[in-house]
Every structure is written in C-alpha cells, then in structure tokens.
Amino acid sequence: MSTIKLNKPSAGDEQPKRSKPVRRGPATLRDRTQPPPKAAPKRAEAEAPVAKQKKHTEKPARQERSGRDNKAGDKPYARKESYKESRHRSEYPDKRSEQRTDNRERRPFTAPSRPVHTPDPDAQPRLSKVMADRGLCSRREADDWIVNGWVKVNGEIVETLGTRIDPDAEIIISAYAKEHQAETVTILLHKPVGYVSGQAEDGYEPAVVLCNPDNQWSDDASGISFKRGHLRGLAPAGRLDIDSTGLLVLTQDGRVARKLIGDDSNVEKEYLVRVEGQLSANGLALLNHGLSLDGVQLRPAKVSWQNEDQLRFVLREGRKRQIRRMCELVGLHVVGLKRIRIGSINLGKLPPGQWRYLGAHERF
C-alpha cells in the first residue's frame, strides 16, 4: 500500500483561500426515500400566457413615423431621423404628420337632415281652374260637371266644388259631359246701337233679347234648329259699347269664351271707326304702338286710314272703350264704330238686329 505525502506550505508562502461554507438544503431534499418536489415555473414562463392573451386583445401602439413617409418595403420600425430632417421638421411642422394625442373616438360625419317639403293644400289651384287652363271647358261648365259627378281626378270622382288639386293631376271627363258640351251653341249677332252687351243697365236692354226665332237670319246655313235651351247660360264673349254696332258673340261653350276673352287670348278683332278732328303729327304712329291707358301700355295694333274720315283698327285686346280713348289721345273724336271681324269669322251680310248660329265647320 503506497502513501502520498502532502507537502506543507512553507512559512513564506501565501495562505490558501478559505472556501465558502456549504449550505445544507432542506431535509426534504436530503431525504432519498421521497420523490423530489416539482420545480416552480419561472416568472417569465408564468407571465407568458397572459402576455400572449394581451397580444390578441390590445391594439398595438401606433408607431411613430418620421417626417417622410416610409416607402413600400421599408421596415415597420421607425427610422432614426437625421439632424437635417429634425431641424426642418422643427422649422416647418407638418400638421398632417402630427400624432393624435387624445383618445376620443372619431364619430362618423352625418349631414344635417333637410326638412321634407310638403305642398300646402291651400296653395294648389282649384279643380275648375285647372280644367279651364287645359282648355277642357269654362269654369262655369267645370262647376256643373263636378256637381254632376262627371269629373275624375287620379281615378277618383270629385263632387265637391272648390276642391284643390295638383296642377299635374290626371283629369278624366265623363262621356256625359262631352255629350252635354256638344249640345252647346254659339250665336253670332249683329248688335245695333242702343243695346248693351251684357246685363241690362240704365234702362237699356241686353243684346241677348234679340236672340229669338223671329230674328234668326233666313240665310243661316248652320242647320241648327232653335231651342229654348239654347238661351240657357248664353253669355257674351267680348263686349261692344252701347253706341257701337257690329259682330257680337254669345256662347254657351266655355272653350269659345276662353279663346276670345281669356287672359292669354291672341285673337284679332277688326273695326271700322269714323272719326272727326285733327290728327296729331305722330298720331298714327302712336295709335299703332306707344299709347298707354290707366298706366298700362297697350299691345301693338294695326291702324291705317280706310278713307278720308274712317280708320281701320285691328286689335288683339279689348279694354273698356279702348278705341274711343285711344283716338282722344291723338286729337280725334269717334262718331261711329263697327266691328266687322273676330278671328276668322266675318260679319258679312248679316243684317243689324239679326243673328245666326256658328256652324260646326267654323272656327275663330
């Protein structure tokens, strides 16, 4: 058996360093009969599931962008800006690149709602006026048709007078109304002096009293036989002064009345006017165009000399005593006035005080 001798350090040698004392573990670790306890998970591993869960629930913070936008293919992290870029950004800040500091939610923009326009029923026209404007009949006829239930508006029968409708509404007229309208007549009368056109006034009789079988012109070629019903609702379409004579139209047809005396009427009316006095220098030119009555300028007329003491007037309007007042403005006095034509209908050989029916083939 061999022995190993350890050399002792000499006195001059350095003392060896003392080793750290050994710490004994707990008794459970020193017990070899029991299985070793499970090691506790590390802190980083324990917090890993929580961090992984937050990764899916929380939105990542916006990355700070530099003054220049990253081009396609750049790395997602922010690039460190240079000194020139930082100085330029401080002197010329770009408001578009400023990061939103508040956490308020952006609300979607909604345009202000506009009020829904609902038409005012009182502002809409009456049914009778719409019918007259469309040339279906006169307002008086429209009222009669409405009361009789002969008018449909948008598929519904209207029987109430004064009903207001949409101007573009669909209006359907019954066949009964058209038959009633076909029975209406128009009378052409040669009105003599001393009769008024409309209702009786100052003891003078209306011209309609002349419309009787005894005064019907024997050369009437209309083929219409006189009936007492032809006098019902017969009204003058235009007027002639009590001192004037000539062609006067009396009608039951509202369409004829509207064409002759409506606001938009453009039918010519021709007169022969006997005058006295001295015409002013530019009087004839003023009679054609340039005169005003009651502050309203007259429409252009056609005025010319028929002979030495008679003028020929062609007008497209009919104001009260218009020709007489026009002549007074240019120094003339009217001593006789006769209407000889309305539209395409001439007075012709119709004797004074007699009348005839407007034929089916005649139009104004």
Name the token pair of 322: 């218009």
Q: Which residues of 182-209 are buried (b: 16+ CB within 10 A; e: fewer)?
A: eebbbbbbbbeeebbbeeeeeeeebbbe
Among candidate residues 241, 264, 294, 309, the one labeled active-site is 241
How many Å apart are CA 200 and CA 209, to the nearest integer? Answer: 10
How many Å apart are CA 147 and CA 130, to the nearest integer? Answer: 16
Picking from 296, 291, 289, 279, the residue whose alpha carbon sits closest to that of residue 334 is 279
Give 1's DSSP letter.
-
Active site residue 241: yes
How many Å apart are CA 325 and CA 292, to the nearest integer? Answer: 10
How many Å apart are CA 356 and CA 348, to the nearest integer? Answer: 12
How many Å apart are CA 26 and CA 359, to the nearest integer? Answer: 138
Task: Tell me the catalytic residues.
Answer: 241
